[in-house]
Each structure stands twice: as structure tokens, then as C-alpha cells.
């Protein structure tokens, strides 16, 4: 249930504020530094269109692991003592080789390479490698082994025997069979993100949300944020002896424009709706009060001031009102004139309000203009 009450007992406070505001205007000298001619907007961050997704490049070709090996011949002879170990691989890692054998004379064992040697590295594309091995004349039997660290099951061993007559081998070429590269499937072309349904408020803003005005012809542009709307029992009773509350709120104003902003928050801002203990809502004008601020333990600066471009100022205000909970806080955006039909009789026009609710519809903030 809502009851509308025009609190004319507040008129002396407002009239005093009007006189102070008139003095502030006279000092400022520039009406456009006091004037916001439209309603600011709150735009839900989640309803801000997202930019088109950037198409990532197609990945590099893939080289499946592969390794094959052989030897150039399987015999040595008085006229032919060098065997070439041969391999072909891709994405094979490190290639290891070892060779050893039996001798016809003491010590009867030929240590050869003395274990495995790292003879090549094949990190990606197909490549062929060779490693010549000279087998001494008294070695009658040799074993050559190869494997690649990156290919499971690639280990192979080859036997070379000695004959005692001249041979004229037709040498085997290196092995083939590598599958080559696999070109990745091109990525699909991304379509733009769908444009979401926009959620915009042009009044009754939520507590804590950043509200931006449009740029005025003068170059003035502002960001408003109202936070911490609270109430506490007041020791001072009202004019009719009724209990009162002290209403406290904080407003943050940032100048994101290019010219100075002249502001008088104590005269331009007030509690405009209160929810009474029984649930009834009453409307009126409960302006900022030094006495209320002092009773709440604040030391406020209620004087007119200026906010320079890229400067932020925060004001904490306090007002007396009937016992209850603040429902709405209002602000006169145009402090340069007063509208005769303004029902709240505040010294200004183009009134905007914040309701004492947290935004549960969307979260976050849009990027500052």
C-alpha cells in the first residue's frame, strides 16, 4: 500500500537549500556546468553486444610418428668393409645406434660403438639419415641395432657376416614408407555472437550500479553510483513528537567529460520515499541535514563544490525522516532552474532516483565510455 505525502514541513530546509544553490550558481558563473538535460542510463553488461569472435588460424600440419631402418648390405669381404646404417623417420625423436661383434682372434669380442650412440634427431617432417660403420678385418660377425625414442616398437637389429672372397654388392637404398603430413581440417568460420536483448533502465536505478549520462553540448558527462543506503533510529523526534530515523547514503560522482561539473549534493539530493514499519510507502522530500549527520557521527562537507574532468568525489549525506526504511533516493540533475510543477518542490528539475534494492537481474559493469 502506498501513501503520497508532500512533506511541506520540509519546505524551510528546501528553501534554504535553494538560496544556497543560487549562491553556488552565482559563484560558478556557468549554467552549463550545473546542467544535465537528459536521463542517464544503466545498461546491463550482459546485454552489451560482444564483438565478433576472432577466427583462429588453421593449425600446423601434423606429422604422425614413424621410423624405419635397414643396412646397405649384409656382408663384408676383403674388398668391402664398410656398411651403412640407414633410416627414415618423422616425429621420431632421437635416433640411437649401436654395433658390436665377434672376432676371430683374442679377445674374440669386438665392442664396436661401446653402447648406443645418439646419431640423429627427427622432431617433425620426414627425414632420412645415414651412418657408415667400418668393420675391422678380424671381425667375423657383427650386429647393428637402431631405434627411435619417439616411436614405440621401432627397435631393429641387423646381422652382418664376413666372407673371404671379393663381393660387388648392389647396395640397398634407405627405407621409405613414411606417411607424410596430415593437414588439419580447416577451422569453421565463426559467426558473430548473437546480439542479446538489451536491459536498460533510465530511472529507479539499483544501489551500486554505475549510471552514465550522455555527453552534454557543453562537453559535460558524468558517472553516478549510489551506495550504502542505511537507516538508524534517531534520538531527535519529529515536529509532531513522532519517532524518526536517520537515513544515510553515499553518492559517488565521477566526471568523465571534458569540462568542470559544479555540484551541491546536500541541496540536490534527498530521500523521496520511505517504507513505514507497517509496510505503507510514503513519498515526500526529506533533505540532507547537518543535525542528522552530526547525530549519526559524520563530519560531512555540505558545501557546493566542483569536480574536474577525470576526478571522482564521494559524498555521504544524512537526513531525518519518519521511522522506517528508505525506499528511494532522488537527485536533481538540472540545478540551474526550478520547475514550477515539480511535485517534490526541490531546487532543480530532471529528477532521477535510486531504489534501495540490489541488482539481481545482471552483474558487472560496462566499459567506461
| Domain membership flag for residue 189 | no
Judge whether residue 41 has pLDDT over 50: yes
Instruction: For residue 57, tell me if it sits in a domain.
Output: no
User: At 152, which CATH number?
Assistant: 2.60.40.10
Coil, helix or strand at residue 14: helix
Phi-psi region of 240 (alpha: psi -120 to 50; beta: other; left: phi over 0): alpha
Last residue of a domain, one of 111, 145, 162: 162
**Averaged confidence pLDDT in the chain:** 84
Q: Taking the model in full, what pTM does it have?
A: 0.55
Q: Is the pLDDT of residue 2 over 50?
A: no
Residues 6 or more apart whose CB falls under 8 angstroms from that of 248 comprise 228, 229, 230, 231, 232, 296, 298, 316, 317, 318
Residue 39 banded pLDDT, cuts 50, 70, 90: confident
Provide the domain count of the chain: 2
325/210 same-domain check: yes
Query: Domain containing 275 — which CATH number?
Result: 2.60.40.1240
Which of 102, 137, 162 finishes a domain? 162
In a domain? residue 366: no
DSSP classification of residue 17: H
State which of 162, 187, 215 marks the end of a domain.
162
Residues 307 and 336 in one domain: yes
Which residue in the block uniquely carries the three cell numbers 558563473?
A: 29
Same domain, 32 and 141: no
* 71, 85 Cβ separation under 8 angstroms: yes
Residues 32 and 101 in one domain: no
**Does a structural domain hold residue 215?**
yes
Q: What is the pLDDT of residue 33?
A: 76
Shared-domain flag, residues 338 and 265? yes
pLDDT in tens, 56-87: 555 666 889 999 999 999 999 999 999 999 99
Is 191 part of any domain?
no
Both 137 and 242 in a single domain?
Answer: no
Q: Which residues pair with 256 in a beta bridge?
A: none
Which triple of cell numbers denotes residue 158? 641387423
- Whether residues 225 and 332 fall in one domain: yes
Whether 190 contacts 53, CB under 8 Å: yes
Cell numbers describing residue 299: 563530519
> Do 23 and 111 lie in a common domain?
no
Question: Does 104 fall in a domain?
Answer: yes
How does pLDDT run across 296-328, given as a tens digit for each residue? 998 877 888 899 999 999 999 999 999 999 999
One domain for residues 155 and 227: no
Q: What SS3 state is found at 321?
A: strand
Residue 172 lies in a domain: no
Higher pLDDT, 364 or 242: 242
| CA–CA separation, 347 and 339 (whole Å) | 8
Per residue in 241-294, pLDDT (tens digit) is: 889 999 999 999 999 999 999 988 888 899 999 999 988 999 999 999 899 999
Report residue 335's pLDDT band, with 50, 70 and 90 as the boundaries: confident
Of the candidates 313, 315, 317, the residue with the CA atom closest to the CA atom of residue 254: 313
14 and 94 assigned to the same domain: no
DSSP 196: P
For residue 318, being part of any structural domain is answered with: yes
What pLDDT is stored for residue 365 in this prediction?
A: 72
Look at phi and psi of residue 12 and say left if phi exceeds 0, alpha if psi is from -120 to 50, else beta. Answer: alpha
Set of cell numbers at residue 70: 635397414
Choose among 137, 67, 66, 131: nearest CA to 99: 131
Residue 141: which domain range?
Answer: 66-162
Residue 71 and residue 157 in one domain: yes
Are residues 224 and 269 both part of a single domain? Answer: yes
Residues 6+ apart with CB under 8 A from 170: none
Amino acid at each position: 500500500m502506498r501513501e503520497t505525502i508532500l512533506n511541506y514541513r520540509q519546505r524551510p530546509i528546501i528553501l534554504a537549500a535553494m538560496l544556497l544553490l543560487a549562491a553556488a550558481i552565482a559563484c560558478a558563473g556557468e549554467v552549463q556546468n550545473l546542467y544535465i538535460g537528459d536521463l542517464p542510463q544503466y545498461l546491463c553488461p550482459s546485454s552489451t553486444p560482444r564483438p565478433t569472435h576472432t577466427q583462429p588460424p588453421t593449425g600446423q600440419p601434423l606429422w604422425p610418428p614413424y621410423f624405419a631402418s635397414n643396412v646397405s648390405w649384409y656382408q663384408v669381404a676383403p674388398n668391402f668393409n664398410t656398411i651403412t646404417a640407414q633410416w627414415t623417420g618423422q616425429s621420431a625423436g632421437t635416433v640411437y645406434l649401436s654395433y658390436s661383434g665377434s672376432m676371430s682372434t683374442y679377445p674374440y669380442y669386438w665392442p664396436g660403438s661401446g653402447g648406443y650412440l645418439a646419431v640423429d634427431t627427427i622432431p617433425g617432417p620426414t627425414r632420412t639419415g645415414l651412418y657408415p660403420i667400418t668393420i675391422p678385418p678380424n671381425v667375423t660377425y657383427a650386429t647393428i641395432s637402431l631405434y627411435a625414442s619417439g616411436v614405440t616398437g621401432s627397435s631393429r637389429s641387423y646381422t652382418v657376416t664376413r666372407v673371404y672372397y671379393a663381393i660387388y654388392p648392389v647396395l640397398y637404398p634407405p627405407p621409405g614408407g613414411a606417411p607424410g603430413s596430415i593437414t588439419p581440417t580447416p577451422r569453421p568460420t565463426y559467426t558473430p555472437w548473437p546480439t542479446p536483448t538489451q536491459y536498460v533502465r533510465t530511472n529507479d536505478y539499483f544501489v551500486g550500479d554505475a549510471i552514465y549520462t550522455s555527453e552534454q553540448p557543453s562537453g559535460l558527462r558524468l558517472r553516478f553510483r549510489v551506495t550504502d543506503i542505511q537507516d538508524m533510529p534517531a534520538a531527535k523526534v519529529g515536529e509532531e513528537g513522532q519517532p524518526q530515523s536517520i537515513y544515510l547514503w553515499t553518492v559517488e560522482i565521477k566526471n568523465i567529460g571534458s569540462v568542470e561539473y559544479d555540484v551541491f549534493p546536500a541541496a540536490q539530493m534527498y530521500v523521496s520515499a520511505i517504507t513505514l514499519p507497517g509496510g505503507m510507502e510514503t513519498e515526500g522530500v526529506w533533505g540532507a541535514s547537518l543535525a542528522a549527520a552530526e547525530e549519526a557521527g559524520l563530519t560531512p562537507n555540505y558545501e557546493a563544490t566542483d569536480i574536474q574532468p577525470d576526478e571522482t568525489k564521494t559524498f555521504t549525506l544524512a537526513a531525518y525522516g519518519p521511522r522506517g526504511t528508505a525506499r528511494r533516493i532522488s537527485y536533481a540533475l538540472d540545478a540551474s532552474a526550478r520547475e514550477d510543477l515539480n511535485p517534490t518542490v526541490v531546487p532543480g528539475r530532471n529528477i532521477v532516483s535510486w531504489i534501495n534494492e540490489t541488482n539481481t537481474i545482471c552483474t558487472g559493469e560496462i566499459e567506461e565510455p
